[in-house]
């Protein structure tokens, strides 16, 4: 029996043309007023995620 795709997590990921997986960095939702502007802008950028093939098959089936 095949494993179901975790839809809630797969919607947060983006697959690039080259095959990299991009996701938003954590810690941006609140308490950002005390952060410096440089760190606020640094959190905006998406970061790449390294995934094993088993995880890719679980989260990126329908992307």
Q: Which three-class secondary structure state does DSSP give residue 1?
A: coil
Q: Does 23 map to a domain?
A: yes
- What's residue 1's pLDDT? 62
The CATH code of the domain that includes 45 is: 4.10.410
Residue 2 DSSP code: P
Domain span holding position 28: 7-59
Does residue 53 surpass a pLDDT of 90? no
Q: Does 47 map to a domain?
A: yes
Residues 4-13: tens digit of each pLDDT: 777 888 888 8
Does residue 29 surpass a pLDDT of 90? no
Give the span between the Cα atoms of 63 and 14, in whole angstroms: 8
Cα 57 to the chain's mean position, in Å? 15
Q: Does 32 map to a domain?
A: yes
Query: Residue by residue, what is the 3-state secondary structure of 14-51?
Result: EECCCCCEEEECCCCCCCCCCCCHHHHHHHHCEEEECC
Q: Does 30 map to a domain?
A: yes
Q: Which three-class secondary structure state does DSSP give residue 55?
A: helix
The total domain count for the chain is 1
Range with the largest mean pLDDT of 4-8, 13-17, 33-37, 56-60: 33-37
Q: Does 1 map to a domain?
A: no
36 versus 62: the higher-pLDDT residue is 36
Task: Output the pTM of the full model.
Answer: 0.58
Q: Does 35 map to a domain?
A: yes
């Amino acid at each position: 029996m095949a494993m179901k795709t975790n839809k809630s997590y797969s919607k947060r990921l983006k697959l690039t043309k080259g095959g990299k997986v991009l996701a938003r960095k954590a810690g941006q939702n609140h308490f950002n007023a005390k952060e410096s502007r440089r760190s606020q802008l640094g959190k905006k950028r998406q970061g790449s995620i390294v995934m094993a093939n088993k995880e890719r098959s679980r989260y990126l089936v329908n992307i």
